[in-house]
A and B are shown apart, each in its own frame.
Chain A
Amino acid sequence: MQVFSFTRPLNFMRLKWPAVLLSMLLLVGSLGSFALNGINWGLDFTGGTVIEAGFAQPADLVAVRQTLDGAGYGDAVVQLFGTSRDVLIRIPLRPDIAQAVVGDTVLQALNAQQAEPVTMRRVEFVGPSVGEELKQDGGLAMLAALVGILLYVAMRFEWRLSVGAVAALAHDVILTLGLFSVLQLEFDLTVLAAILALIGYSINDTIVVFDRIRETFRKLRDGSTAEVINTAITSTLNRTVITSLTTILVLVVLFYLGGALIHGFATALLFGIAVGTYSSIYVASAIAEILGISREDMLPPLPIEVDGENGHGQP
């Protein structure tokens, strides 16, 4: 059984410019959404208190809101979490209340109102400094991962491919962040982990294609650059699609069965892997071609030394 069986390479590079245009539009859209809507940062980043309470009966959110209002938490956000008996209460940071006691007082207030006891499932408090640091550390980690990959690919392959790979990764990350911004999904620590994992997996795809481009350059002595890239992408297409398929398969399972805490994680990866599959075909290779990669760059018997010099010479 085989998904694709082509006798001739598909002409992927013919759609290079439309693909670049599409990506540009999506990137501009994402960045625009950051500017307009921002990102719905979760508790881990904003600081504050989150209380997950389990009710014996389906919870009456209006009553819960009234109780909280009475207890002095008028700014609390109340919503169901996963099931109708599970209530998530968010209380933002305020300088005038001692954050450390919020969890206990809220649970006591709820217990006083309910006939049957409310069970504490989870209370999380994050101070303001922690969230700020996490944003910085998270951003730094993403940069560190990207720079590390940039250097590794430049060393193992060639700087043009390296730039293409990192551009593709940045593209995936920005679009995934864009999705979270447009839909105003909550961006918490697990989503950050998902995005970093996404960088890892998306580069995986890209490297496989690059590896084949290098090999094809050496094999097809008289093909043009576009032909070589087309041949390489076509011959790895089966693998790209199958691996993405199995990954998406398990992610769908995680999305539906993994529980509410893993939802954001699964969403980010599902979208990211789909975008990543597209970007490793189009963005990475197309940028390398636009930057003018040629057979000479891939052929030298000692590619590491030559590439190293080139890599340093270019920004």
Chain B
Amino acid sequence: MLNKNPLWRYILVPGLLLLALLYALPNLYPEDPALHISASRGGVVTEQTRQQLQHSFTAQGITVKSLELSNGQLLARFNSTEAQLQAREIANRELGANYITALNLAPATPHWLAAIGASPMKLGLDLRGGVHFLLAVDINAALEKNLTDMQQSFRADLRENNIRYRSIQADPVAGQVQLLLRSAEDVTKAEALLKQRDRELVFSLSADETSLQVGISELRIKEIRDYALEQNITIIRNRVNEIGVAEPLVQRQGADRIVVQLPGVQDTAQAKEILGATASLEFRLVDTEGDIGAAIAGRAPVGSSLFYSRDGRPVLLEKRIMLTGDHITGASSGYDEYSRPQVLIKLDAKGGAMLSAASKDAVGRRMASVFTEYKPGTEIAADGNRVLLKQQEVINDATITMRLGRDFSITGINTSAEAQNLATLLRAGALIAPVQIIEERTIGPSLGQENISLGLTAIGWGMAAVLVFMAVYYKAFGMVANVALLANLVLIIGLLSLIPGATLTLPGMAGIVLTVGMAVDANVLIFERIREELAEGKSVQQAIHLGYDRAFATIADSNITTLLVALVLFGIGSGPVKGFAVTLAIGILTSIFTAVVGTRLLVNLIWGGRRLQSLPV
């Protein structure tokens, strides 16, 4: 018998290798120092902005490699970091506060590679430097607030329906509201009433028959938790975008955690202030009688003060606050009956009463929502950190058409995107669950670079050691295994570049080194098997055939268990360890492929078609 390759093997192996090589290629191109420019509130990035900047850069003698506009963002590439830094100063000066500039390293992937979706591997923070935060959301605060709201609305509901009660108290420890009533009859009435108002309440009766405990369902608790988490993520994402970080990551982790990764950021103090800064919201009446011209000149009427809207329009508002944003329990965007965009706002019981009283005599007047946020300015304080600036702006003003209550809506919004944005800001004004930093890791840029070069050196030497060993030990077959090993490396890098969620970390690089050492295992199994078959007196071609055949079951069994472990690792690990699990798993799969299919192709090609007396194994 002879060992010949079926056609599919000729197609599959070179095909996959070529594909992997193609997707691995972008990693060879160095990165350009780049500048990201995007618009913040009120600004727009247009072709005109692009030309303006191009002009100013040239005028200042800065060579720009390219300046492209895409997705409403400008990306400028430079030849050196100096040019990049100079350009940032110019851009900040020219464009002013309505634009955000962020320094970045942009991959210099050629167009033909980018067109097929190829991009370099994403590097973990331990390799590129930056800050990693793990935030815990204080869900208990949100639950407690919910309980207080329940208590208040129960009181109002019972009073409205003339059910007399002795007391209604929130009990945060038990997560319930305790109602003490006057008779068993009242208990039944109260239960029926409250059940009708809210189907998700959980009632439990006490033995004394005049008290009632009301809790909330697991589902509702989950809703509150998810809401608090989503709200925090939205707020943090907005803030992170404000400080100008290229490729930030803000992601939910588990039930009540948020991961924030800011590549390239070194000033953790600033980052922390931004994460911890509070936003607030208030509703005020618009002062239409005061002289706005005088107010701009600095002479605002007594009882009023001057504010600006997001697009820079001056608005005169009363100093008296109708309602603060912490009474908002929900804000969502939607459409009214004429399918015009609107924002629906829900208030807690106390807020509803306050707004109802404040809007009683104000029907027909305009009410403005003022958003207050703290963000770092350009000034540097004595401690080296940027001074936080209080920034207040009017995000919406609308006419009050009727007396407002616990549920009301804001209409007259232009687009549904705007309505969504407004709903987000309104929610942000009432942060119901504060966050706390429970983990923080900062990697300096020099350490990141050093880790990359350490990793590369280790991979290089590890590879060299194994290549030499295999060539010496298995001679010609060893060379075949070595070709497979190199192919393996290309496959791993290609896959890591291709898989969107995969990031390369320092432990990940260690995983590659380890894979290099272990990848030869499958080949060793096969070669040893071939040797055994030869020793037992089988013919050369039979030995090759049986060697591959018999070793395959062993290779599969032993690698499936290892894969199992890699999955477990992926499940528990955070950042760097996850990176290790990913490279481990990919390495296992590629090494099975290269050993079982790849080397078979070569071995059959070289030795399979001839009548031989011995094998160089």
A interface list, Cβ under 8 A from B:
1-2, 52, 54, 100-101, 103-104, 108, 119-127, 129-130, 137-138, 140-141, 144-145, 148-149, 152-153, 156, 189-190, 192-193, 196-197, 199-201, 203-205, 207-208, 211-212, 215, 235-236, 238-239, 242-243, 245-251, 253-254, 257-259, 261-262, 265-266, 269
Contacts and interface: CB of A to CB of B under 8 A. Distances in A.
The 8 closest A-B pairs by CB, nearest first: A250-B517, A200-B565, A127-B438, A250-B462, A200-B562, A259-B454, A247-B517, A207-B558
A137 B513 CA distance: 26
A204 B266 contact: no
Contacts of B612: none
A272 to B, nearest CB: 12
Contact of A245 (B469, B531, B576, B580): B469
Listed residue (B457, B461, B514, B577) with the most chain A CB atoms within 10 angstroms of its CB:
B514
Given A201-B518, A250-B513, A239 B524 contact: yes
A145 B581 CA distance: 13
Contacts of B440: 100, 103, 123-125
A285 to B, nearest CB: 15
A284 to B, nearest CB: 13
B272 interface: yes
Contact of B447 (A52, A145, A239): A52
A247 B514 contact: yes
B386 to A, nearest CB: 14
A257 B458 CA distance: 6
B458 A258 contact: yes
Interface of B: 126, 134, 136, 266, 268-269, 272, 384, 436-444, 446-447, 450-451, 454-455, 457-458, 461-462, 465-466, 469-470, 472-475, 506-507, 510-511, 513-514, 516-518, 520-521, 524-525, 528, 531-532, 550, 553-554, 557-562, 564-566, 568-569, 571-574, 576-577, 580-581, 584
A43 to B, nearest CB: 10
A236 B527 CA distance: 12
A101 B437 CA distance: 11
A1 B474 CA distance: 7
Given A1-B475, A129-B438, A145-B565, 20 more contacts: A121-B444, A130-B134, A130-B439, A141-B569, A156-B557, A189-B577, A190-B576, A193-B580, A200-B562, A204-B521, A205-B558, A207-B558, A207-B561, A243-B518, A249-B517, A250-B514, A254-B458, A254-B513, A261-B451, A269-B514
A71 B319 CA distance: 45
A38 to B, nearest CB: 22
A211 B136 CA distance: 48
B369 to A, nearest CB: 32
B584 A197 contact: yes
A150 B217 CA distance: 39
11 contacts: A124-B442, A127-B439, A148-B564, A190-B507, A196-B569, A211-B553, A250-B462, A253-B465, A262-B454, A265-B507, A266-B510
Contact of A141 (B268, B442, B511, B572): B572
Contacts of A247: 514, 517-518
Contacts of B574: 189
Nearest to B455: A258
Contact of B561 (A122, A153, A269): A153
A240 B528 CA distance: 10
Contacts of A259: 450-451, 454, 506
Nearest to B577: A193
A122 B132 CA distance: 11
A105 to B, nearest CB: 10
Contact of A119 (B444, B454, B571, B576): B444
Contacts of B451: 259, 261
B576 A242 contact: no
B560 A152 contact: yes
Contacts of B444: 54, 119-122
A247 B519 CA distance: 9
Contact of A246 (B441, B443, B517, B580): B517
Nearest to B473: A1
A148 B447 contact: no
A149 B560 CA distance: 9
Contacts of A152: 560-561, 564
Listed residue (B269, B439, B473) with the most chain A CB atoms within 10 angstroms of its CB:
B439
A235 B462 CA distance: 28
Given A121-B444, A124-B440, A251 B559 contact: no
Nearest to A190: B507
B466 to A, nearest CB: 5
Contact of A121 (B437, B447, B455, B520): B447
B486 to A, nearest CB: 15
Contact of A197 (B514, B520, B576): B514
Nearest to B462: A250
Given A145-B568, A200-B566, A253-B458, A125 B439 contact: yes
B569 A197 contact: yes
Nearest to B478: A1
Given A130-B438, A201-B562, A100 B272 contact: yes
Contacts of B437: 100, 125, 127
Contact of B441 (A1, A123, A239): A123
A249 B524 contact: no
Nearest to A192: B577
Contacts of B558: 203-205, 207-208, 211
Contacts of B510: 190, 254, 258, 262, 265-266
A269 B461 CA distance: 18
B271 to A, nearest CB: 11
Contacts of B455: 258
Nearest to B553: A211
B469 A246 contact: yes
A204 B550 CA distance: 16
A103 B133 CA distance: 14
Contacts of B528: 236, 238-239, 242
Contacts of A124: 440-442
Listed residue (B457, B470, B516, B564) with the most chain A CB atoms within 10 angstroms of its CB:
B564
A201 B558 CA distance: 9
B273 to A, nearest CB: 11
Contacts of B441: 122-125
Contacts of B384: 108
B447 A199 contact: no
A175 B203 CA distance: 55
A79 B581 CA distance: 31
A145 B572 CA distance: 11
B529 to A, nearest CB: 8
A7 to B, nearest CB: 10
B562 A104 contact: no
Nearest to A273: B517
A190 B447 CA distance: 17
A246 B466 contact: yes
